[in-house]
């Protein structure tokens, strides 16, 4: 990354979320002249609108839900209530404490020039920002992704919520129709149902959480319907929506039958699309609506321009965007280039119980025609499920024909924390037998991992 004095900066990073933040800071600390351009709120999606505020509210919701059901432990909790403005204040405090949301000053303190505006490429080395022209020797595009409106008749004519605007609601709606049963749709369905909303979740696929193993979607559907009173509509296509007085009418097709329901609010959580509308063609950067194309080193077709995070089109987790941001920084600053290693990157869903998976799913193995062995250990097999009175959930492991672990799924309390033992095992090619022979502390949820591994290695 040679300094070229004819440019205003050595590096301009477009996007201040997880994909842009690490590379900007690392380059600035190495003495490079860096600018960061953000079209929305500094810090990007994760700390402002998704991970942090959602998980803060989910933590409070799970606590409330557990306490409400405390009678079975001898706790008197039937008069428990909540104050939604106070819950929102707690969410805002969590965002503020994290420090990554609205963090323009952080970059300025690092000596990074900041611009709060959309960026547009004019040529391979020049962008326009707020009617200003800025040039740089190198760029990193980390513009992320945005929620897309599904093709549903009338949807554009009604006021609908997105996962971002839902968090800003003054109070939970009385009834809510969620279009999309992926991770975000399921998290928000549980959150709203706990606070008393009548929730409908519509998913085109045959199960909720269609990117996870089948057992996951089946269990989450049962938990949402039986315990939270939600209505789950799988294999359902939403046909049209229209306003009816103060409410909204949703018409959908399921099993060839057309039905409709009236609700107070509609939430669209069907998926995100990479934000690629920034004049990339003027910089000779190859891209499609599905994302920017990069090589193994995260370089675009214009070698001095890198890309990281959701703009690549794989709708990844924040930890993947951070990994790519660090790799982009390394490759900008060093001759010896490295590639991001995606093996064993965990996927999480912060419901209760939590869902965590890593490596290949059973569907992945079928598509690759892999010869596999699998095992499932239900949580109710271990002592901890008895002392916590929690019986729903399991650990599922997949091994290749030599017993080497290649995939794992956990539905359990603290699934996000439990998954890392299996992440390590899959990353470093450990066998189920090796995991099974590792001592697991008695009365921990982790014992279910040992049981599942022992079943595979016997």
Express each pLDDT in 382-394 by its tens digit. Answer: 999 999 999 999 9
Q: Is the pLDDT of residue 33 over 90?
A: yes
Asked whether 449 and 384 are in contact (CB, 8 A), the reply is: no
Task: Give domain status of residue 442, yes or no.
Answer: yes
Last residue of a domain, one of 270, 290, 321: 270
Three-class SS of residue 324? helix
Name the token pair of 14: 């477009």
Q: Does residue 340 lie within any of the structural domains? A: no
Mean pLDDT, the chain, as a whole number?
Answer: 95
pLDDT for residue 193:
98
How large a percentage of the chain has pLDDT more than 90? 94
State whether 133 and 278 are in the same domain.
yes
CATH of the domain at 224: 3.50.50.60
pLDDT at residue 212 is higher than 60: yes
Say whether pLDDT at 275 is over 70: yes
Is 339 part of a structural domain of the chain?
A: no
Same-domain pairing of 189 and 211: yes
Q: Do residue 361 and residue 436 come from a single domain?
A: yes
Angle at 244 between CA 243 and CA 250, to 5 degrees: 65
One domain for residues 209 and 176: yes
Question: What confidence tier does 457 reach under pLDDT thresholds 50, 70, 90?
Answer: confident
Other C-beta atoms lying within 10 Å of the C-beta of residue 439:
6
338 in any annotated domain:
no
| Rounded average pLDDT over 354-375 | 96
The answer to whether 306 and 139 have CB atoms below 8 angstroms apart is yes
Average pLDDT over residues 11-29: 97
- Which range is least confidently modeled, 45-54, 280-289, 408-417, 442-451? 45-54
Tell whether the model's pLDDT for residue 262 goes beyond 80: yes
Q: What is the pLDDT of residues 170-200, one digit of tens each?
A: 999 999 999 999 999 999 999 999 999 999 9
Residues 260 and 173 in one domain: yes
Question: Average of pLDDT values for 268-276?
Answer: 94
Determine, yes or no, domain membership for 401. Answer: yes
DSSP letter, residue 428: T
User: 232-244 pLDDT, tens per residue?
Assistant: 999 999 999 999 9
Close Cβ partners of 100 (under 8 Å, ≥ 6 residues apart): 21, 43, 46, 47, 52, 106
Which domain-ending residue is among 224, 251, 270? 270
Residue 1's pLDDT is what? 54
Asked if residue 239 and residue 180 are part of one domain, the reply reads yes
Q: Does 4 have pLDDT greater than 70?
A: no
Q: What is the reported pLDDT for 29?
A: 97
Which H or E run contains 260?
strand 257-263
- Whether residue 279 sits in one domain with residue 138: yes
Sign of the Cα torsion 445, 447, 448, 449 reads positive
Domain match, 261 and 300 both: no
Domain boundary among 333, 367, 383: 333
Task: Supply the pLDDT for residue 315.
Answer: 74
**212 lies in the same domain as 353:** no
Q: Is residue 245 part of a domain?
A: yes
Is residue 103 scored above 70 in pLDDT?
yes
pLDDT score of 77: 85
444: in domain: yes
Distant-in-sequence contacts of 295-304, Cβ < 8 A, 24+ apart: 296/339, 297/327, 297/331, 297/337, 297/338, 297/339, 298/324, 298/327, 298/328, 298/331, 298/340, 299/331, 300/141, 302/124, 304/124, 304/125, 304/137, 304/138, 304/139
Give the whole-angstrom CA distance, residue 44 versus residue 263. Answer: 31
Q: Are residues 429 and 418 in the same domain?
A: yes
Q: For residue 458, what pLDDT is reported?
A: 74
Do the domain assignments include residue 4? no
Residue the block writes with tokens 């040529």: 123
Q: Using the predicted structure, report yes or no on whether residue 74 has a pLDDT greater than 80.
A: yes
Among 247-256, 311-320, 330-339, 428-437, name the one with the lowest average pLDDT.
311-320
Domain with 387 in it: 347-457
**369 and 405: one domain?**
yes
Q: Are residues 16 and 115 in the same domain?
A: yes
pLDDT classification of 5: cutoffs 50, 70, 90 = low
CATH number at residue 355: 3.30.390.30
Name which of 71-80, 108-117, 221-230, 411-420 the model is least confident about. Answer: 71-80
Task: Say if residue 245's pLDDT is above 70.
Answer: yes
Indicate the number of domains in the chain.
4
């Amino acid at each position: 990354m040679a300094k070229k004095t004819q440019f205003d900066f050595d590096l301009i990073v477009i996007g201040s979320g997880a994909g842009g933040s690490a590379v900007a800071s690392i380059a600035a600390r190495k003495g490079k002249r860096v600018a960061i351009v953000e079209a929305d709120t500094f810090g990007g999606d994760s700390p402002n609108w998704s991970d942090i505020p959602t998980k803060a509210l989910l933590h409070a919701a799970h606590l409330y839900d557990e306490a409400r059901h405390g009678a079975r432990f001898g706790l008197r909790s039937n008069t428990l209530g909540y104050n939604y403005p106070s819950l929102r204040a707690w969410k805002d405090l969590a965002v503020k404490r994290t420090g990554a949301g609205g963090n323009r000053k952080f970059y300025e303190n690092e000596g990074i020039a900041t611009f709060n505006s959309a960026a547009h490429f004019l040529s391979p080395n020049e962008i326009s920002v707020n009617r200003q022209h800025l040039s740089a020797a190198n760029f990193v595009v980390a513009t992320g992704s945005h929620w897309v409106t599904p093709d549903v008749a009338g949807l554009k004519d009604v006021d609908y919520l997105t996962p971002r605007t839902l968090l800003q609601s003054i109070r939970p709606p009385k009834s809510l129709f969620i279009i999309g049963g992926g991770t975000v749709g399921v998290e928000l369905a549980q959150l709203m149902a706990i606070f008393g909303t009548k929730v409908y979740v519509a998913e085109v696929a045959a199960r909720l959480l269609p990117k996870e193993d089948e057992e996951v979607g089946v269990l989450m559907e049962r938990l949402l319907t039986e315990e939270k009173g939600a209505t789950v509509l799988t294999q359902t296509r939403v046909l049209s929506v229209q306003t009816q007085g103060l409410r909204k009418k949703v018409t959908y097709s399921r099993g060839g039958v057309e039905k409709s329901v009236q609700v107070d609010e509609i939430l669209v959580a069907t998926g995100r699309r990479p934000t690629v509308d920034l004049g990339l063609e003027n910089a000779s950067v190859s891209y499609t609506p599905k994302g920017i194309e990069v090589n193994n080193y995260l370089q675009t077709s214009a070698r001095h321009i890198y890309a990281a995070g959701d703009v690549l089109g794989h709708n990844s987790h924040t930890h993947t965007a951070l990994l790519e941001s660090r790799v982009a920084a390394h490759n900008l600053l060093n001759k010896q280039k490295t590639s991001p290693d995606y093996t064993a990157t965990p996927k999480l869903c912060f419901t209760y119980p939590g869902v965590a998976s890593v490596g290949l799913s059973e569907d992945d193995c079928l598509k690759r025609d892999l010869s596999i062995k699998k095992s499932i250990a239900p949580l109710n097999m271990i002592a901890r499920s008895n002392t916590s009175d929690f019986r729903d959930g399991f650990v599922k492991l997949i091994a290749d024909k030599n017993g080497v672990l290649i995939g794992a799924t956990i539905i359990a309390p603290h699934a996000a924390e439990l998954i890392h033992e299996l992440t390590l095992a899959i990353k470093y090619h450990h066998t189920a037998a090796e995991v099974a022979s590792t001592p697991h502390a008695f009365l921990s949820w982790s014992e279910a991992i040992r049981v599942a591994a022992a079943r595979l290695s016997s």
